[in-house]
Structure 1
Amino acid sequence: MSGGGDDRPDVLNHMEIEAYVEALEKSKTMELGSMGWLEKHERVKQLTVQSVIQALSNREETVKESLITHEKLKVLVHDLVLIELWREEILPELAKHTLTQGFSIYPILYHESTCINMLETVLYHPESAETLGDGIIDLTDYCLRLMNQFITFGNDDDEEDEGYQRRQNGSGDHPKLAQEVAEKDVDIIKISRGVLFGNCFKALSTLRYIIENIDSLGASLVSRLTLSSDAPMLLTELILQKPWRRENWQSGKISEFDPTTATWKEIDSSAHFILNRNEIQAWLGLYLLLKNNQVLGNYELYDGRKNQLLKLRAFLNDLSLDQLPILGELQLFLNQLAIQSGGPFAPSKSPLLLEMIAPIRNALEEEFKKKRKKLIKAYTLELIEASRESLLEKAQKLAASYDFNNFEPTLASKGVCANCSKEAEKRCSKCKKEWYCSRECQVEHWKRHKVTCGN
């Protein structure tokens, strides 16, 4: 049933959604890259596209409901953590080889993006987080690890302008990748790094949704965010560092990363003080943490933390408060913090809480530890040294899976007619860049458009 949104066609019908969700199972054998796994990846990708369409179109979110009903959200967290561990432990070994057939590796990296994209979409609803059970610990830990990674990311290697202010410590690559991968394999490094950077934006939103529901998710999560990991300081550092933005001190140009297109785009200097979506997510996450009595009761604001938080006062001005009025409460908190010490801003006693392990990550680490050599050999045979027939079969499968022309009617939004500037629903079938409201406008505009069409 439509909720009054647009009329984009669905990728999956209700029966297909139910069938795909029911078929989602945790991979016990870790056969990433196999044909069976590629079919699962295709199903998850289609479910993700459908869930985003439903969310954007204000429709009944049947994908989310089905994932909750069949208790499959934890499967997505399992896949997320599995590929993260694979990326850390196995990819550096595979990258030592000449990756002439490295296309088999790309879907594994993109599956991580697909899973975090799906989780970000459905976790907007509080009931989704509540159905994860102890999987919420694994998901929170994953997001926090990516926040640490987010802070270390600097400029894209494609632009080596020394004038760009670098905000990272180190290269931003995973340490093992940086140390063990040869220069000839730089493509897989750049792809892995680019995918990971995009995942950080999704993880930031997901972390904010988790924090928003912290009161209903148990005391173990509070301990995770305050004692095991210093979430308030992570979010503070993100706001201060702004890894999604880079500034050229020589030219005065400012660029921001657009996660939807995975590119850096130059913005007007006047937009420097405009809060983008990522800053808003970080500010909201920090605000929700510092206004929560459970969090403050477990979080000692000693001088180092206090001084770091007080740096944020420089960003809380009339312009930022106009954009996000809720930050006025945070400004008041920081002003009080500046003139007081101890007291209500520090826990009265050290909390004695049992720390809950991350069950999914812990189990996978044990399995990787026991089977490391066997897994490396199996992945080398499957992804690097596979037969020509096997590689051709995978290539055909991937070509069909990533043919986004199949999703064109679904993903397309309305545009502006290139000829008369009216609202348009059709695009040039050749270049798919220009919009037209009618056949007549397209014919009339063709003399100008044919110069650039297809270029």
Structure 2
Amino acid sequence: MDGSMDGHIISDMELDHILRALKPSDLEDIGGKAWIQQMSMLEELNVQAALEARDGLEERVRDSLVEHDKLGLVVRDMILVEIWREEIMPRILRQGQPESSFQLYMVLFNEANLCNLLETILFHGSTCQSLDERAIDLADYCMRQIHWLLSRDPNQEPSDLGRLHSNEAKLDTPLVELERHNNVIRFQVGLKCLTILRYLTENLEDLPLGVSTRMVITHDVPMSLVSILEEEPWTRERSGCEETFDGHQWRPKDEIQGIHKTEAQAWLALFNLLSRPNTNQKYEIHDYRKAALLRLLGILSRPTPMELPFIESFRKWLLQLQLGSVPSAKPGLLIESVAEIKEGLMNRYRDKFDSIASDQSHIFLKNNQELFDVEITKLIHTFENTAVQKLLKDDDPTHMDKKACVVCQSTPAKNRCSRCHSE
């Protein structure tokens, strides 16, 4: 996998092999050899999909995932890791202090990779439509991450990448280090989920009816999006200076031109839900919701949201709502669907969390970094590909320090992959 394949890191033959090799994981598998190998293959797909999307190439990863019916596997594996993070990891940590955060971090890294892969390939409506009923589980997953964004304590900023990469971080214990990695990853995943949610809202007409019901009735997504637009989790204030998260790190707000891409996704998703018949006819705008929606008029007085082409129409709709001239919802028969992936996994494992955590404690509490060495070496070779280096540079306006490890993103390294630890 050198840099000579015209922007590809995976040949057609390798892609076919990977797709045929992918199998649904079990909770017991996480941290084992087969799971680590599959994690590496999924990261290769993630990077290849990003290259294809950026360069306008034939999107082989997206098409192959749909053709091999593996899109559901990506969603399922992502939810499986979420369950591991919520149920297994805390039980493991109650059994003792980890000698290294590396193995635990790699599991969290896998969840972020899967989310990033979905964010890349679901841009296309046909890919969204191929989710079918699995879109319900994906919508639920996105809302859980968005609720986390809204519930976090802004006074204990969880996404402080500067601290993560600072010399002070070298003094942190593995547990403190893990907590910081977890919060950084969850923050980034939450922002990505706003994009995925927007893609789902654009394709509701072609998804099962239960998906739209889930969004406007079960989750009340419009109200969550209003909160996101008001709280702007991609911004913060530090030492009297306003900062914006650019996808990689926090930068002074005045260095970011135009509307933040995550804010744009939130406006698009909200507009889709309130303007399309299959959702607005189900969504009753009572006094509480009306008051919340009308608060958006204050945000629309700023110049940046007005850059979006549909915003003027949305502003006029809000003014009509203010005057009481928006037609009331006419909810008919509501179909409540079940999130089959999450519910099925919870039913299967609910009584096994303690035993799985006990079985996996030796993997994650000891410094078993060598278990990952082969696959980490493959990942490093992937990131050293010329096309991938250009992708990373183009995607990061600050051109992060090239000496930072491409796997653990630490500079300098401490309890990370064997290669960056040695450099």
TM bin (shorter chain): 0.7 to 0.9
Pick closer, same or farther for the CA change 1:42–1:236 going to 2, 3 Å. Answer: same
* Letter paired with 2:148: Q
Aligned partners of 1:158 and 1:227: how far apart in 2? 31
Matches within 5 A, 1:285-296: 285-296=269-280
* Letter paired with 1:41: M
Aligned partners of 2:206 and 2:113: how far apart in 1? 27
Matches within 5 A, 1:344-383: 344=327, 346-349=328-331, 351-383=332-364
Q: CA deviation at 1:399?
A: 3.7
Say whether 1:132 aligns with 2:131.
yes
Q: CA deviation at 1:8?
A: 4.9
Provide Cα deviations, 1:266-316, integer angstroms capped at 9, x if missing partner: 2328x69x4110110001111111101121111111111110110100122
SS at match of 2:243: strand
SS at match of 1:268: helix
Pick closer, same or farther for the CA change 1:136–1:38 going to 2, 3 Å. Answer: same
Say whether 1:59 aligns with 2:57.
yes
Aligned partners of 1:306 and 1:124: how far apart in 2? 31
Aligned partners of 1:36 and 1:303: how far apart in 2? 54
Q: CA deviation at 1:224?
A: 0.3
Aligned partners of 1:113 and 1:56: how far apart in 2? 19
Q: Indicate if the aligned counterparts of 1:55 and 1:61 stay in contact, CA closer than 8 A.
A: yes
Say whether 1:276 aligns with 2:260.
yes
* Letter paired with 1:306: K
Aligned partners of 2:220 and 2:159: how far apart in 1? 33
Pick closer, same or farther for the CA change 1:158–1:76 going to 2, 3 Å. Answer: closer
The residue aligned with 1:311 is 295
Aligned partners of 2:233 and 2:107: how far apart in 1? 25
Say whether 1:264 aligns with 2:212.
no
Pick closer, same or farther for the CA change 1:258–1:8 going to 2, 3 Å. Answer: farther
From the CA coordinates, give the structure whose radius of gyration is larger. Answer: 1
The residue aligned with 1:437 is none
Aligned partners of 2:365 and 2:26: how far apart in 1? 22
Q: Indicate if the aligned counterparts of 1:95 and 1:188 stay in contact, CA closer than 8 A.
A: no
Aligned partners of 1:12 and 1:363: how far apart in 2? 33
The residue aligned with 1:165 is none
When the two structures are superposed, what TM-score results if normalisation uses the length of structure 2? Answer: 0.83
The residue aligned with 1:20 is 18
Aligned partners of 1:246 and 1:7: how far apart in 2? 42
Provide Cα deviations, 1:156-190, integer angstroms capped at 9, x if missing partner: 3587xxxxxxxxxxxxxxxxxxxxxxx87222111
Provide Cα deviations, 1:332-390, integer angstroms capped at 9, x if missing partner: 1100000107x61x3235x43231110000011112212122111112133225xx7xx
Q: CA deviation at 1:28?
A: 3.4
Aligned partners of 1:309 and 1:300: how far apart in 2? 12
Pick closer, same or farther for the CA change 1:235–1:109 going to 2, 3 Å. Answer: same
Q: CA deviation at 1:431?
A: 6.1
Q: Indicate if the aligned counterparts of 2:283 and 2:329 stay in contact, CA closer than 8 A.
A: yes
Counting aligned pairs with the same residue, the percent is 27
Which shows bigger deviation, 24-33 or 354-363?
Answer: 24-33
Matches within 5 A, 1:72-111: 72-96=70-94, 97-111=96-110
The residue aligned with 1:449 is none
Instruction: Tell me: higher relative CO, structure 1 or 2? Use CA pairs within 8 A at least 6 residues apart.
Output: 2
Q: Indicate if the aligned counterparts of 2:99 and 2:174 stay in contact, CA closer than 8 A.
A: no
Pick closer, same or farther for the CA change 1:193–1:377 going to 2, 3 Å. Answer: same
Q: Indicate if the aligned counterparts of 2:158 and 2:184 stay in contact, CA closer than 8 A.
A: no
| 1:232 equivalent among 222, 225, 235 | 222
Structure 2 gaps of 5+ residues are 161-172, 394-400, 405-422
Structure 1 gaps of 5+ residues are 1-5, 160-182, 417-429, 434-454
Aligned partners of 1:297 and 1:158: how far apart in 2? 38
Aligned partners of 2:74 and 2:392: how far apart in 1? 34
The residue aligned with 2:387 is 410
Aligned partners of 1:105 and 1:240: how far apart in 2? 34
Pick closer, same or farther for the CA change 1:127–1:15 going to 2, 3 Å. Answer: same
Pick closer, same or farther for the CA change 1:108–1:318 going to 2, 3 Å. Answer: closer
Pick closer, same or farther for the CA change 1:212–1:157 going to 2, 3 Å. Answer: closer
When the two structures are superposed, what TM-score results if normalisation uses the length of structure 1? Answer: 0.78
Provide Cα deviations, 1:212-256, integer angstroms capped at 9, x if missing partner: 0011102211110111101001111100000110124x63x1111
Q: How many residues align?
A: 381
The residue aligned with 1:150 is 149
Say whether 1:222 aligns with 2:222.
no
Alpha carbon RMSD of aligned pairs, Å?
Answer: 2.7
Aligned partners of 2:207 and 2:49: how far apart in 1? 24
Aligned partners of 1:129 and 1:71: how far apart in 2? 13
SS at match of 1:90: helix
Say whether 1:394 aligns with 2:368.
no
Which shows bigger deviation, 286-295 or 401-410?
Answer: 401-410
Pick closer, same or farther for the CA change 1:189–1:406 going to 2, 3 Å. Answer: closer
Q: CA deviation at 1:257?
A: 1.4
| 2:310 equivalent among 323, 326, 340 | 326
SS at match of 1:243: coil
Q: CA deviation at 1:89?
A: 0.7
* Letter paired with 2:354: K
* Letter paired with 1:128: T
Aligned partners of 1:414 and 1:71: how far apart in 2? 28
* Letter paired with 1:412: Q
